[in-house]
Amino acid sequence: MNKEEFDALISKIESSIGASIDTKLKDAFREVNPEVLKAISNNSAELKKTVKNLEDSNVALIDAQKSQGAVIEGLTTKLNNANENKKVSFKDQVIGLLKVNEEKLVAMKNGDSKTNIRMTMKAVGNMTIGGNTTGQLPQAERESGITRIVRRNPFILDLVNVGSITSNLWEWVQQANAEGAPGMTAEGAAKAQIDFELVLASAAVRKVTAYIKVSKEMLDDIPLMESEINQELAERINLTIDAQLLSGDGTGQNLTGILANAVAFTPGSFATGSVNEVISPINADVLRVAINQISVSLFQANYIVMHPSDVTAMDLAKSIDGHYVLPPFSTSANTIVKGIPVVANTGVTEGDYLVGDFSKAGVRFREGLTFDVGYENDDFTKNFVTILAEARLVQRVKSNHYPAFVKGDFAVDKAAIAKA
């Protein structure tokens, strides 16, 4: 269809409907099949009627929209008023809205496209993290690693002599029950006779163990979990060994600790000119007497072990006029008493002390700290893994060396040496 024919048809249509066709509609008509366009122009009466129906429908649609707007405004007001005094859940608001609009729902079900329902769930307001977010928002920043429980440091193995052993029993032979005494002998007289016994003594190797059972998922999904378990097992095993070396009572599977073999403090082991009397004794005085007790037993003390609070008490000792007391035999802020270093550790009971020649305490390891990983019972089918740590060792202080260690209680021993 050429331009002249198209313009003629458009003019005919405009004449039929009594209105001009805008440019966009004309462009649309150009895309229409020419035969269809001719049919439209030839049925001008039907076209005019259709246009009239569209105009009437448009008026009705505008009226319906106005009516619908009034209904929506009323519903919104009701919901907002209700929410001012009571926080209503989303579910409750929806149910309430449906009950109020049952008739509209029926109309919508029957195909009435002019009817709909709208609900405003919340009024516009200020946004806050507390009021407008759920869950972990914003995202937390997590430090790497795991903060471990704080525990004391083991210390006894640093003081005693340590080695290895190839048997489960440590034996030694020592003299006992010496009798007689040498004597000055005249010519032709009987000579002095002495003797002694040889006694076999022994100490058995003991085992320290601990294990942790953990799922394979936990090992896989939590970073550093395996190394954390190994560190925990090692730390706990070493602390148990430390406690046994110091305080084990030798019963059952316990080691015999140094305190079990140490001798008690003896206040009569020194002289001051006025026997066994010290004016206003302090902790350092007790330690000085204990060092002397070891010396007169023919041993040489090399360590003093105390609770940190008792070291602090020595630091804070004052005279009546308020001056700090630092005995002439104590140096380096009470960290050395008569040349013997003080080791502070919470493994020692507060109020107690131990002075000794720690070279006379021997520790031998049959098996150092080892780790094993394996399954137990139905662990394989349940994805559990057992991590086991253990060590085997023995400690001994020979009975002839018991006087190399002196133990005591500061309060009791200060009273024992105090001038009446």
The per-residue DSSP string of 186-240 comes to -TTSPPP-EEEEEEEEEEE-EEEEEEEEEEHHHHHHSTTHHHHHHHHHHHHHHHH
Are 368 and 390 in contact by the 8 Å Cβ rule? The answer is no
119: helix, strand or coil: coil
Residue 382's pLDDT is 93
Task: Provide CB contacts within 8 A for 407, sequence distance 6+.
Answer: 259, 262, 263, 264, 265, 352, 353, 354, 355
Are 114 and 57 in contact by the 8 Å Cβ rule? The answer is no
Are 296 and 269 in contact by the 8 Å Cβ rule? The answer is yes
Q: How many residues does the chain have?
A: 420
Cα angle 215-217-223, degrees, rounded to a multiple of 5: 110
Q: Looking up tokens 């928002």, which residue turns up?
A: 137
Q: How many CB atoms lie within 10 A of CB 415?
A: 12
Amino acid at residue number 254: N
Provide the whole-model pTM: 0.67
Residue 385's pLDDT is 94
Q: In what order do the strands lie in the sheet with 206-215?
A: 161-164, 362-374, 384-396, 206-215
Q: Which structural domains are found in the chain, ordered by start? A: 3-85 (no CATH), 156-182+192-417 (3.30.2400.10)
pLDDT profile of the chain (420 residues), mean per 10: 76 72 68 67 62 59 64 64 56 62 63 60 73 80 87 96 97 95 94 94 97 94 89 96 97 97 89 68 93 96 97 86 79 81 96 98 97 93 95 97 97 89
CA dist., res. 210 & res. 227, Å (int)? 15
Omega prior to 138 cis, within 30 of 0 = yes
Helix axes of 23-30 and 3-17: crossing angle, nearest 10 degrees: 130
Residue 143's pLDDT is 84
CA dist., res. 22 & res. 10, Å (int)? 11
CA dist., res. 134 & res. 414, Å (int)? 65
